[in-house]
C-alpha cells in the first residue's frame, strides 16, 4: 500500500558503504526470490509448451532475468517436456538521476529481425508510466514474432501511468524511486540485495 512503512534497515544486513543513504527496506531479498519462483511457475504453465526467446532489458533487469531463467530451466528439467530457452540482452536508456527523460533508445541486442516467428518473453525490472515498454513492444512487433509476453519484477502505481500492465508482475509498489537487486541510482546500489527506498542524502551523494 502507499502508506506501507517498510522494514527497518537494522533488521537486515546490507553493504556498509550505503549506511545513511537509505530510508527503509521495501521488499527483502528472500521475498523477492520466492516471488520469482512463483512467477516462473505461472509463466511455464502459460507458455511452457513452446520454445522461449527471453529478451532481458539491461541493466536493471539482469538479476531478475538470471534468477527467473534459472527457475524456468529447473521447471523444464523436471517436467516431461524440454523447453529450449535462449537469452538476448538489450538496453533502454530513459533515466538520468531519478527522472525519466521521456525519450527511449534501444541499445545492443542481436538483430531484432531474428525474433520473427519466435515466442518472446521480455524481462524488465520496473514498469512505471508504461511508455517505455509500449515503445519497445512497438519496435519488436514490427518483426512479427509469434507471441510477446512481458514479465516485470515491479510495477509502480503512478498518476502518469498510461494503463499498461505486464503479463507477469512480481510486486506492485508505490510511486517511489527504489534501488537494490540490480536496480540502480546512477550505477550505484546494484550490489544491494534487498529492494530499498533511497533517501535524499543518498540521492545527493550519488547525483551526476
* Domains of the chain, residue spans: 31-174
Predicted pLDDT of residue 126: 92
Q: Per residue in 12-40, is it b (16+ CB within 10 Å) or e — as a string?
A: eebeeebeebbbebbbbbebbeeebeebb
∠ CA 206-169-94, rounded to 5°: 40
* 148: Cβ contacts below 8 Å, ≥ 6 apart: 120, 122, 137, 140, 141
Helix residue ranges, H only, the chain: 29-47, 62-77, 131-141, 200-205
Cell, residue 76: 523444464
What's the mean pLDDT in 115-133?
A: 92
Identify the CATH number of the domain defined by range 31-174. Answer: 3.40.50.2020
The single residue listed with the C-alpha cell 511452457 is 48
The pTM (predicted TM-score) of the whole model is: 0.89
Residues β-bridged to residue 90: 57
pLDDT digits (tens, 9 = 90+) for 150-208: 999 999 998 887 888 999 999 999 999 999 999 999 999 999 999 999 999 999 999 98
What's the mean pLDDT in 119-128?
A: 94
* Pairing status of strand 22-27 against strand 99-107: unpaired
What's the mean pLDDT in 114-138?
A: 91
Question: How many of the other CB atoms lie within 10 Å of CB of 47?
Answer: 17
149 or 164: which leads in pLDDT: 149
pLDDT digits (tens, 9 = 90+) for 22-44: 999 999 999 999 999 999 999 99
Please report, in angstroms and rounded to a whole number, the separation of the first and last CA atoms in the chain.
31
Report for 9-23, 47-61, 109-123: range of highest mean pLDDT: 9-23
Reply yes or no on whether the pLDDT at 111 is more than 80: no
Predicted pLDDT of residue 103: 59
Reply yes or no on whether the pLDDT at 98 is more than 70: no
Q: Which among 67, 69, 56, 71 is positioned nearest to 193, based on CA atoms? A: 67
Q: Which among 165, 89, 73 is positioned nearest to 123, based on CA atoms? A: 89
What's the mean pLDDT in 53-68?
A: 92
Amino acid at each position: 500500500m502507499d502508506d506501507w512503512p517498510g522494514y527497518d534497515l537494522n533488521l537486515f544486513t546490507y553493504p556498509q558503504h550505503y549506511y545513511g543513504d537509505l530510508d527503509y527496506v521495501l521488499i527483502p531479498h528472500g521475498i523477492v526470490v520466492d516471488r520469482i519462483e512463483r512467477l516462473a511457475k505461472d509463466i511455464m504453465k502459460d507458455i511452457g509448451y513452446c520454445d522461449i526467446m527471453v529478451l532481458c532489458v539491461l541493466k536493471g533487469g539482469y538479476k531478475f532475468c538470471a534468477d527467473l531463467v534459472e527457475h524456468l530451466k529447473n521447471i523444464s528439467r523436471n517436467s516431461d517436456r524440454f523447453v529450449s530457452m535462449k537469452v538476448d540482452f538489450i538496453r533502454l536508456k530513459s533515466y538520468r538521476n531519478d527522472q525519466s527523460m521521456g525519450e527511449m533508445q534501444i541499445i545492443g541486442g542481436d538483430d531484432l529481425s531474428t525474433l520473427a516467428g519466435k515466442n518472446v518473453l521480455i524481462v524488465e525490472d520496473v514498469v512505471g508510466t508504461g511508455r517505455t515498454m509500449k515503445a519497445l513492444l512497438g519496435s519488436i512487433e514490427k518483426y512479427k514474432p509469434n507471441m510477446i509476453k512481458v514479465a516485470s519484477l515491479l510495477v509502480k502505481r503512478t498518476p502518469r501511468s498510461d494503463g499498461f500492465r505486464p503479463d507477469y508482475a512480481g510486486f506492485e509498489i508505490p510511486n517511489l524511486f527504489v534501488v537494490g537487486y540490480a536496480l540502480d541510482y546512477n550505477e550505484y546500489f546494484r550490489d544491494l540485495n534487498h529492494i530499498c527506498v533511497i533517501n535524499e542524502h543518498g540521492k545527493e551523494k550519488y547525483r551526476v
